């Protein structure tokens, strides 16, 4: 915003170092047992196999990776169950996670640089040596000082090191994109693959294609990927950019149904305020694509956009231009859904208040003219048809449990959808931080991040090394997890139990947190108790009493500190 409005200089900086999450405590023991199973010779007797399968099932159950009942039908086929368990362990072990925070003026060490280079897939010796040298130099602090002196800062592309090593050296004035080229050809190809992956996951889970998908689009994610999420939305509808003779974006056009090979999916798009401000051409592109689909003379069984637009006209009258409105955001000059602020304050009473807050803030439709207008009837009608809500995860340093903007948007619309249709819709995350990408349910993504980050000593010890700020990040993860419970109800209860055990019921850990950041440590205890009071988990009486005592102890520490400072 500062660059757009005032030609501000934006000094680029590195993301935190990354590493593989690895396995710890019981997860490592479980992996050893799984490897014993996989190494069993074919002549192993039934008794030996059954005994080891029972041991693996019990170990996995203690880690909330398998049902507690050995007779559960999901373990009737031990080979298949253990294969799924092995895949889950691999997801945790090899997940890339940030290690601490990036500190300006402190380049990553040799081991950290090696892991970054591995994660970026740089294997050529000459390219690797060059990139390593750029990572080792402190180019950021001198650039900041030079900029404050009024000096010239060279331009550089923005983005993530793992996606684009050309961002190095950091400490340069980042620029964004050419608005007339977004989404580009690569983004369209990748968007088609990601859209197909999302549809395949929903078919696998629900047995049919979704009629309507609710997507959240952020400006930053689209800048990093040259419009990848925009391309996904277009591909779901069965549309693509229309370009003029110079190759510049001029509008949208439909992909013929015969070429598409499936029905057109209706898509309701919620834009972040940053997207709305930075990408007006792309806002109109999406609106035009959906209007073209609504107008198309195609069977309703092959065009869900037209089906829903025609239903709205039959019920409410009006114009097809109004019935086809699907792109929503804030009013001009406002940002966010305020769902995160409600959760942070703890002042909300019912979950429906969170959905209502989302609709009040994000209920402004943007048509092909690019101007916002309230269209509550259209929004309410299309929300009733939503089968799944979806958002991409584009950057390793940001997870859905590390920043509150994810549940503010995706969680907010999920709660609004539930209120409109009277039942839960599926919620998916498209994780494109490594490899070709994968689609996970929200519950799967929260569980994965909790295991690889919040509960992982490799992660939280690196955070605690940053003192008060590290504890604040850990507290934010607990608050954001509560936000997902409040907006989607798709957080497994074991997550709160394990967070409580690791951070609150261990006296030494509790002492460390209180000394580093007494305010944040109290908030962790209170969030866990709030989650219980809102029925998101049910600790036994012993654990609940221990949590209350731990919270009271931390409150006493904080009050004592306040009195000491006052004196």
pLDDT digits (tens, 9 = 90+) for 265-320: 999 999 999 999 989 999 999 999 999 999 999 999 999 999 999 999 999 999 99
The pLDDT confidence band at residue 437, using thresholds 50, 70 and 90, is: confident
Kind plus residue range of the DSSP H or E element containing 254:
strand 249-254
Structure confidence at residue 565 (pLDDT): 56
Structure confidence at residue 160 (pLDDT): 78
Burial bucket for residue 46 (CB in 10 Å: 0-12, 13-18, 19+): exposed
Q: What is the mean pLDDT of residues 412-441?
A: 92
CB 525 within 8 A of CB 518: no
Q: What is the mean pLDDT of residues 525-545?
A: 95
Which residue has 């916002």 as its token pair? Answer: 372
Q: What is the mean pLDDT of residues 235-248?
A: 95
Which has more confidence, 473 or 221?
473
Q: At what angle do helices 468-488 and 457-464 cross, to 10 degrees?
A: 130
Rounded to a whole number of angstroms, the distance between the first and last alpha carbons of the chain is 44
CB 452 within 8 A of CB 444: no
Structure confidence at residue 396 (pLDDT): 84
Which residue has 């949590």 as its token pair? Answer: 547
Structure confidence at residue 561 (pLDDT): 59
Segment among 87-96, 381-390, 459-468, 557-566 with least mean pLDDT: 557-566
- Mapping DSSP onto H, E and C, the string for 207-241 reads CCCCCEEEEEECHHHHHHHCCHHHHHHHHHHCEEE
- 221-225, 478-482, 556-560, range with greatest mean pLDDT: 478-482
Q: Please determine, for residue 334, whether its predicted confidence score (pLDDT) is greater than 80.
A: yes
Q: Using DSSP bridges, classify how beta strands 212-217 and 386-393 pair: parallel, antiparallel or unpaired.
A: parallel
Q: What is the mean pLDDT of residues 505-520?
A: 94
Structure confidence at residue 339 (pLDDT): 97
Q: What is the pLDDT of the chain when averaged over all its residues?
A: 93
The pLDDT confidence band at residue 7, using thresholds 50, 70 and 90, is: confident
Q: Among 282, 188, 267, 198, which residue's Cα sits nearest to residue 233?
A: 267
Q: What is the mean pLDDT of residues 559-564?
A: 62
The pLDDT confidence band at residue 559, using thresholds 50, 70 and 90, is: confident
User: What length is written for the chain?
Assistant: 567
The pLDDT confidence band at residue 562, using thresholds 50, 70 and 90, is: low
Structure confidence at residue 564 (pLDDT): 53
What is the tens place of the pLDDT at every residue in 163-196? 788 889 999 998 767 889 999 999 999 999 999 9
Indicate the pTM of the whole model: 0.93
The pLDDT confidence band at residue 526, using thresholds 50, 70 and 90, is: very high
Structure confidence at residue 47 (pLDDT): 87
The pLDDT confidence band at residue 499, using thresholds 50, 70 and 90, is: very high
Structure confidence at residue 265 (pLDDT): 98
Segment among 154-168, 320-334, 392-406, 459-473 with least mean pLDDT: 154-168
Segment among 67-71, 358-362, 483-487 with least mean pLDDT: 67-71
DSSP string computed for 414-463: HHHHHHHHSSPPEEEEEE-SSTT-EEEEHHHHHHHHIIIIIT-HHHHHHH
Structure confidence at residue 146 (pLDDT): 97
Q: Please determine, for residue 211, whether its predicted confidence score (pLDDT) is greater than 70.
A: yes
Q: Please determine, for residue 359, whether its predicted confidence score (pLDDT) is greater than 70.
A: yes
Q: Using DSSP bridges, classify how beta strands 212-217 and 173-175 pair: parallel, antiparallel or unpaired.
A: unpaired
CB 33 within 8 A of CB 56: yes
Sign of torsion, CA 106 111 112 113? Answer: positive
């Amino acid at each position: 915003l500062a660059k757009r409005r005032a030609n501000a200089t934006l000094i680029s900086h590195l993301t935190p170092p990354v590493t593989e999450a690895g396995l710890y405590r019981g997860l490592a023991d479980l992996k050893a047992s799984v490897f014993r199973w996989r190494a069993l010779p074919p002549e192993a007797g039934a008794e030996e196999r059954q005994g080891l399968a029972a041991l693996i099932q019990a170990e996995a159950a203690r880690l909330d990776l398998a049902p507690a009942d050995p007779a559960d039908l999901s373990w009737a086929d031990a080979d298949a169950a253990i294969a799924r368990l092995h895949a889950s362990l691999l997801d945790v072990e090899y997940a890339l996670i940030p290690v601490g925070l990036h500190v300006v003026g402190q380049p990553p060490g040799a081991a950290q640089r090696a892991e970054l280079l591995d994660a970026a897939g740089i294997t050529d010796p000459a390219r690797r040596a060059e990139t390593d040298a750029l990572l080792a130099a402190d180019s950021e602090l001198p650039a900041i000082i030079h900029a404050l002196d009024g000096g010239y800062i060279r331009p550089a592309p923005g983005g993530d090191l793992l996606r684009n090593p050309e961002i190095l050296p950091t400490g340069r004035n980042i620029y964004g994109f050419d608005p007339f080229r977004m989404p580009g050809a690569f983004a369209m190809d990748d968007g088609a693959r990601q859209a197909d992956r999302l549809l395949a996951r929903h078919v696998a889970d629900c047995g049919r294609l979704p009629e309507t998908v609710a997507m959240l689009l952020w400006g930053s994610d689209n800048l990093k990927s040259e419009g990848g999420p925009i391309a996904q939305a277009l591909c779901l509808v069965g549309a693509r950019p229309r370009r003029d003779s110079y190759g510049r974006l001029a509008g949208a056009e439909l992909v013929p149904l015969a070429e598409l090979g499936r029905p057109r999916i209706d898509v309701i798009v919620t834009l972040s305020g940053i997207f709305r401000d930075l990408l007006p051409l792309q806002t109109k592109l999406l609106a035009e694509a959906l209007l073209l689909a609504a107008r198309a003379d195609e069977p309703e069984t092959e065009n869900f956009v037209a089906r829903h637009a025609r239903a709205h006209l039959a019920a409410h009258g009006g114009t097809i231009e109004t019935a086809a409105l699907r792109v929503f955001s804030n009013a001009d000059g406002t940002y966010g859904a305020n769902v995160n602020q409600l959760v942070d304050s703890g002042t909300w009473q019912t979950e429906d208040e969170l959905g209502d807050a989302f609709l009040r803030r994000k209920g402004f439709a943007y048509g092909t003219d690019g101007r916002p207008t309230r269209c509550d009837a259209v929004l309410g009608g299309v929300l009733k048809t939503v089968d799944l809500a979806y958002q991409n995860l584009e950057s390793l340093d940001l997870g859905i449990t590390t920043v509150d903007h994810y549940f503010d948007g995706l969680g907010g619309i999920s709660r609004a959808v539930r209120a409109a249709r009277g039942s839960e819709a599926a919620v998916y995350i498209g994780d494109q931080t490594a490899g070709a990408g994968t689609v996970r349910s929200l519950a799967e993504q929260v569980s994965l991040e909790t295991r690889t980050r919040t509960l992982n000593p490799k992660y939280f010890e690196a955070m605690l090394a940053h003192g008060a700020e590290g504890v604040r990040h850990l507290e934010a993860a607990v608050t954001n997890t509560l936000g997902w419970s409040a907006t989607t109800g798709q957080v497994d209860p074991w997550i709160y139990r394990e967070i409580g055990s690791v951070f609150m019921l261990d006296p030494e850990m509790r002492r460390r947190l209180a000394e580093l950041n007494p305010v944040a440590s109290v908030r962790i205890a209170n969030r866990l108790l709030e989650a219980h009071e809102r029925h998101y988990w049910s600790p036994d009486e012993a654990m609940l009493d221990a949590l209350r005592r731990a919270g009271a102890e931390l409150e006493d520490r904080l009050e004592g500190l306040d009195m000491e400072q006052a004196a």
